[in-house]
Amino acid sequence: MSTILVTGGAGFIGSHLCDRLLAEGHRVLAVDDLSTGRIANLGEARGYGKEFTFLNMDIRAEGLLPLVERNKPQVVMHLAAQCSTEASMRDPAGDASVNLTGLLSILEVSLRTGVQKVVFASSATAIYGEPRKVPVKETSAAGARPLSPHGVAKKAADDYLRFYQRYRNLDFTALALGTVYGPRQASGAVAAFIDGMLKGDSPSINGDGNQTRDFVFVDDAVHAFALALDKGSGKLINIGTGLETSINGLFRMVADITGFSGQPSAGARPAGEPRRMALDIALAGTELGWHPWTHLEDGLGEMIAYVKGI
C-alpha cells in the first residue's frame, strides 16, 4: 500500500482521484485551501476512516513540509492550481504565485521528504495556445505560444518538472488534460449549461459558439492519473478523446437530454482562450495503456443525473 499526497484534493477532479486511489487500497493525504474545492466533495473519501486524511492548507504554506514529513508519501498528485484563464488575465502575478511558486513548493518539499514521483495536472487548452492543426500532438508544446498568463505558467511548469527530473532525480509525469467534465463540477460551460437548463434559464454562449473543445469525462481523466503512478516517466501526455465538439454542439446535446427548448443568450468571447482544441492521444495509449471509454452523451447524462440527485 502506497501513501499518496493529492493537492487540490477537495476539488472537482481531485476528490474523484482521492476516491479512486482509496478504492485501490492506497492511503491518501489530501491538501486543499478550499478556495474552489468543497468539503462536500470528500464524503466518500472520508468513509475510509484512517486511510484518508484531509488538511485545509495552502500549498505555499510553511506548514506543508512537516505535514509531508509526517506522512511520507511516495507519490504526489499535484492538482492544486489557479485554473481561471480570466483571473490570470486580470492578475498574472497572482496566477504565477499559485501555479509556479506553488509548484516549486511542492517540488522542494518532495525532494526533502523522499517523494519518488510527481504527477502533474497540466491543461491542454492553456499550454498549446492556438494550435496550427488539430488534433494537437505533445510535440507542439515546445513551440507553442500560450494565449494567457495561465497558459504561460502551465507551460513553464513543464520545464521546471524536467529540470527537477534531470538535476534532482525527481521523476514526473505531466498530463495535458482536455476539458474535463462530470459530477461535482461547479464551473465551466458544461456545468453552466446543465444548471441553467434544469432551472429553465437561458444559459449564455460566449462568442459565436463555434469554438471547439475536447471534452473528457472525469472518470476517464482520473484513470489516467492512476495509471501514471508508475508509468509515463518524464513525459507530457495528452488526455482527451481526439474529438472536437463545438460549444453550440454541446448546448444542443445538453438541451436534448434535459428537454430544454429555449435559446441561449449571447455573451462576449473571453480573451486568452483558443478557437479550436482536440488532442492527439496516441502517446497516452503507448505510455500509459490509457484510452477514453465514455462517450460525451453518456457522460453528460451521468452528470445531469447527478445534478438532479437521481
Provide the CATH number for the domain around residue 175: 3.40.50.720
CA distance 110 to 103: 10
310 located within any domain: no
Q: Which domain holds residue 15?
A: 3-182+215-240
Q: What percent of the chain has pLDDT over 70?
A: 100
The whole-number pLDDT of residue 246 equals 97
276: cell is: 479550436
97 located within any domain: yes
146: cell is: 500560450
252 located within any domain: no
308 located within any domain: no
The whole-number pLDDT of residue 124 equals 97
Q: What is the mean pLDDT of residues 305-309?
A: 93
297 located within any domain: no
Number of domains in the chain: 1
Q: Are 159 and 304 in contact (CB under 8 A)?
A: no
The whole-number pLDDT of residue 310 equals 65
Angle, CA 223 vertex, CA 221 and CA 226 arms, to 5°: 120
DSSP letters spanning the chain: --EEEEETTTSHHHHHHHHHHHHTT-EEEEEE--SS--GGGGHHHHTTGGGEEEEE--TTSTTHHHHHHHH--SEEEE------HHHHHH-HHHHHIIIIIHHHHHHHHHHHHT--EEEEEEEHHHHS-S-SSSSBPGGGGTT---SSHHHHHHHHHHHHHHHHHHHH--EEEEEEE-EEE-TT--SSHHHHHHHHHHHT---EEETTS--EE-EEEHHHHHHHHHHTTSS-TTEEEEES-S--EEHHHHHHHHHHHHT----PEEEPPPTT--S---B--HHHHHHH-------HHHHHHHHHHHHHT-
Q: In the beta sheet, which residues pair with residue 136?
A: 279
189 located within any domain: no
Q: What is the pLDDT of residues 266-305, one digit of tens each?
A: 888 888 999 999 999 999 999 999 999 999 999 999 999 9
Nearest to 52 by CA among 22, 14, 77: 22
96 located within any domain: yes
The whole-number pLDDT of residue 177 equals 98
149 located within any domain: yes
pTM: 0.97
Nearest to 92 by CA among 54, 148, 37, 42: 148
Q: What is the pLDDT of residues 132-159, one digit of tens each?
A: 999 999 999 999 999 999 999 999 999 9
- Flag whether pLDDT at 234 surpasses 70: yes
